[in-house]
Structure 1
Amino acid sequence: MRFNITDAVKHLIIINVVMFIGTITLGNGHLFDTLFTMYFPTNDLFKPWQVITHMFMHGGPAHIFFNMFALWMFGTPVEQRLGTKKFLFIYFSAGFGALLFQLGYYYYDYFSAMQVVSELGMNSELLHKIMNIDALDGEYIRGEILHQKMIPFLNEYNFTNNINDNQFKALFDLNIVNRSAMVGASGCIMGILAAFGMMNPNAKLMLIFLPIPIKAKYFIPGLILLDIISALTGQSFFSPSNTAYMAHVGGAVIGFIIMYFWKKNDMNKYRWN
């Protein structure tokens, strides 16, 4: 079997691999994360260029391996069929769509929590410091750590209002949203996967962990549905629990919309006026 890879796919894989090597080797493994990961816009680490650079960042060997494998497997036939320019248009449009969907999901939690926190009458500087507290214990943010680290800030600003359980939960939620981070090409690849499915609806696909061949026209909507359920319930099926599920949904939706209009316009050329 001959190994085929198209130019854009090859160069995207190279860029992703180079970025991953930089991530794990430079600045004690933190420099690239600090500069190129996509942070929530209220976070002190947020930079405008992160809206692009996060698409080339990955969280670990398994993350980049499966993403690059999928990029090669589905990206190559899509680029061969559409050409490099259209392929890259879908790829990056899906990446931006993924970002907007995930940020929209985060902003819903952000504004919901802000409505509760506003009852405290806390000034913006104090709130900003609380939102940027590092309360991580391993991979999880802990409420007790946040509470302990809040106290010096509350004293510094002479904040004496009582914070009830509901208000503390809102502060905790704000901290989680503010410190959320996005990395990976998954949103881009979901857009390419959707395009592949539109072009090859009867192609049989399967998951590594579920080796049952399913036609693309059922397989891809099924994956999107699982991502939506995971985002709403927190229940992970085939991905790590910290996966940005709505980014997957956003990438797939944008890929589908673009291909839908391209196919529709292509068919219009053959209709009688």
Structure 2
Amino acid sequence: MSRYDYDSFWNTLKRGFMRIPPVIRTIIAINVIVFLLMIFAGQLIVNVFGFNPDPFTALTQPWRIVTYMFVHGGAFHLIFNMLWLWWMGRTVEETIGPRSFSVIYFGAGIGGALLQIALASIVGSNIVIGASGAVLGTLVAFAYLFPTTPIMLLFLPPIEARFFVAGLVALDVLLIGAGDNIARLVHLGGAGTGYLLVKMHYEGYDLSSFIRPIEQMFKGKGTKSKKKKRQKNKDMYAVADVEIMEEKDADELDEILEKISKKGYDGLTKEEKQKLFELSKRN
């Protein structure tokens, strides 16, 4: 293989990775980095960042309720979770926007952990790792937004997304207490939380409102030493994950976003896609 072919392969791989929606791209990158670190300090990372459902530990070490989603027990555990996230999650993120998607993904992971805490006295307090709860919540969101989309699996006929995801959830219910060392309750808590959050979005609740205060907090810290902040245009109007400067465009953008939430991005006409692109690029 020539050097040109080698460079071409990695450049192609890089371009493909950069086309993944930003939140999913970041989640995959962090998971891979943590997995590589686990080669050298696996048990230490599990002990520090894994989720312990013991109520006292959860209360005194709250970071675990998030960090456990980035720790995986093996290569296949990581690969399958990230493949599912990339396969179905990218459409969800492109449809509802990165902020709202972040709320669903991390909300599902946290919801799964909370259910495990609530039932720790019954199922025990073993350390939990992996993004499966968050990923299953994302799959539920996909099935809610695109219920009849066919899911293609090897050796099986096409299955509509709603039936496929319902089957995964039912499998977790049936295998509770099977002793297979899989946190079924985290899966179910993630699925339930994902459903509630995507339903809130579909009914008009702005999930991105959970993220904006966090963004403003970090932006405020990062701009203290910089030059005076530019005054915000009084006519600015914010809708979901897009900010536009002219109030007259707000109604048209609302209609486009509503159509995306019901039919997906592919349901837009060519003119609507162009309009959405133009509005998203304005400062």
Please give the range of the TM-score, normalised by the shorter of the 2 chains. Answer: 0.5 to 0.7
Higher relative contact order, structure no. (Cα contacts within 8 Å, ≥ 6 residues apart): 1
Superposition CA RMSD, Å: 2.4
Q: Structure 1 residue 34 and structure 2 residue 47: aligned?
A: yes
Are 2:152 and 2:158, in contact at CA under 8 Å, matched by a contact in 1? Answer: yes
Q: Which residue number in structure 1 is paired with residue 280 of structure 2? A: none
What's the CA shift string for 1:22-79, capped at 9, x where partnerless?
Answer: 11213xx322111111123268898332111101000000000000111111111111
Q: Which residue number in structure 1 is paired with residue 79 of structure 2? A: 65
Q: Which residue number in structure 1 is paired with residue 10 of structure 2? A: none
Q: Which residue number in structure 2 is paired with residue 184 of structure 1? A: 130
Q: Secondary structure at the match of 1:76?
A: helix
Taking the aligned partners of 1:198 and 1:186, their CA distance within structure 2 comes to 18
Amino acid paired to 1:212: P
Deviation at 1:206, TM superposition (A): 4.7
Alignment of 1:25-104 (within 5 A): 25-26=40-41, 29-41=42-54, 47-104=61-118
Aligned residues: 190
Q: Which residue number in structure 1 is paired with residue 147 of structure 2? A: 201
Q: Which residue number in structure 2 is paired with residue 153 of structure 1? A: none
Q: Which residue number in structure 2 is paired with residue 247 of structure 1? A: 186
What's the CA shift string for 1:80-115, capped at 9, x where partnerless?
Answer: 001100000101100111111222232234xxxxxx
Amino acid paired to 1:259: V
Alignment of 1:150-229 (within 5 A): 177-178=124-125, 180-207=126-153, 211-229=156-174
Seq. identity, %: 34
Amino acid paired to 1:93: G
Taking the aligned partners of 1:18 and 1:188, their CA distance within structure 2 comes to 18
What's the CA shift string for 1:108-159, capped at 9, x where partnerless?
Answer: 34xxxxxxxxxxxxxxxxxxxxxxxxxxxxxxxxxxxxxxxxxxxxxxxxxx
Amino acid paired to 1:36: F
- State the TM-score, normalizing by the size of structure 2: 0.62
- State the TM-score, normalizing by the size of structure 1: 0.64
Q: Secondary structure at the match of 1:188?
A: helix
Q: Which residue number in structure 2 is paired with residue 120 of structure 1? A: none
Taking the aligned partners of 2:121 and 2:201, their CA distance within structure 1 comes to 31
Amino acid paired to 2:118: G
Are 1:35 and 1:47, in contact at CA under 8 Å, matched by a contact in 2? Answer: no
Are 2:53 and 2:116, in contact at CA under 8 Å, matched by a contact in 1? Answer: no
